[in-house]
Amino acid sequence: MDQTIQVRSITFEYESDKGRVLAVENVSFDVADGEFLCILGPSGCGKTTILNMLAGFLTPTRGEILIGGRPVAGRGQDRGVVFQDFAQLFPWRTARRNVEFGLEMRGVADAERRETALKFLRLVKLEKFAESYPHELSGGMQQRVAIARALAYNPAVLLMDEPFAALDAMTRDEMQKQLTEIWQATKKTVVYITHNVAEAVYLADQILVLAAHPGTVKARLRFDLQRPRDPLSAEFVAAQRELLGHLQH
């Protein structure tokens, strides 16, 4: 399966009370098969708009997005999305039945669905909670179920919109570690939105720094740090400093 993403000079404008607003202007980037891309920027820089265009919730005013070499038209099972909101899980379904949802839509048989769902719950270390309802799980656990749910129907790429932003710092560190492991195990292409510099350095192969009003690409960086990355190492701190420099002007 071709898991590349190509974004060709996309622009997004919308109508508001004060006339047309340019939210994203002329953004281009490529993500290679199995690569982890972080889009980093201040709030209001249009990073969520970019993700929504990748997911197919919004259509670019100009420009083109290719996933697996095919132009994106609307929503599709070639993409998995993880939102920031814990409420994204369906409260009336257990963790396992949440993870099964995408397969159910595709008409996969019961037994196979169950087996696949359990496999992905094991991947996010939640097989013991398969039959729990979302409200019985902590925020971190809910987000892990959401990741399992987005992976279970085997999309080409995984899109994540600040999935850990609402977690406490310690849980977030643990989640980043686990996400790296999951990513290495599944070899998915990931686009990850964040406004946290350390998170971007910890997770990404490639980092896209955005400027706000309108959202444009300010810098594109790569840090070849050894994984698992050590946030206290000199290289890590240096990388953070470099990124901050790009963000601040």
Partner 1 sequence: MQRMKLLAVNAAWLIVPFLVVGTIWEIVARAGIFQPKLFPSLVTIFDAFVRLSVSGVLWAHTEGTLVRLALGFLLAAVVGVLLGIAMGRYRFAEDVFLPLVSIGYPIPGLAYAPLFVLWFGLGDLPTILLVGVASSFAVIINTWKGVRAVKQVWIRAAEVMGATDRQLFRKVILPGALPYILTGMRLGLAQAWRILVAVEMLTAVPKGLGWMIFGAQEFLNTDVMLAGVAAIGVIGLLLEKQVFERVERYTVVRWGMLTA
Binding-site ranges for partner 1 (CB under 8 A):
55-57, 75-77, 79-81, 83, 85, 87-88, 90-92, 101-102, 104-106, 133-136, 149, 153
Whichever of 18 and 135 has its CB closer to partner 1, that residue is 135
Measured from the CB atom, the residue of 115 and 136 that comes closer to partner 1 is 136
Six-digit token string for 207: 């980092």
State in angstroms the smallest separation of the CB of 145 from partner 1.
12
Encoding tokens for residue 71?
């132009």
Phi, psi angle pair for 141, to nearest 5°: -65, -40
Identify which of residues 57 and 122 has a Cβ nearer to partner 1 in the complex: 57
CA distances from 202 to 65, 84, 188, 192 (A): 27, 19, 17, 12
Q: Which lies closer to partner 1 via its Cβ, residue 87 or residue 238?
A: 87
Q: State the minimum distance, in angstroms, from the CB of residue 13 to partner 1.
A: 22
Which residue, 14 or 90, is less far from partner 1 as judged by CB?
90
CA distance 165 to 172: 8
Question: 117-124, long-range: CB within 8 Å, 24+ apart, which pairs?
Answer: 117/148, 117/152, 120/148, 120/149, 120/151, 120/152, 121/95, 121/96, 121/145, 121/148, 123/148, 123/151, 123/182, 123/185, 123/186, 124/148, 124/178, 124/182
CB closer to partner 1 out of 106 and 222: 106
Q: Which amino acid is at 1?
A: M
When the beta carbons of 65 and 201 are compared against partner 1, the nearer one is 65
Least gap, CB of 96 to partner 1 (angstroms): 14
Pairwise CA distance, residues 114 & 209, whole Å: 40
Smallest distance from partner 1 to CB 102, Å: 4
User: CB atoms < 10 A from the CB of 135, how many?
Assistant: 9
Cβ of residue 242: shortest distance to partner 1, in angstroms?
A: 34
Minimum distance, C-beta of residue 128 to partner 1, in the bound complex (Å): 19
Nearest approach in angstroms of CB 92 to partner 1 is 4
Radius of gyration, CA atoms only, the chain: 18
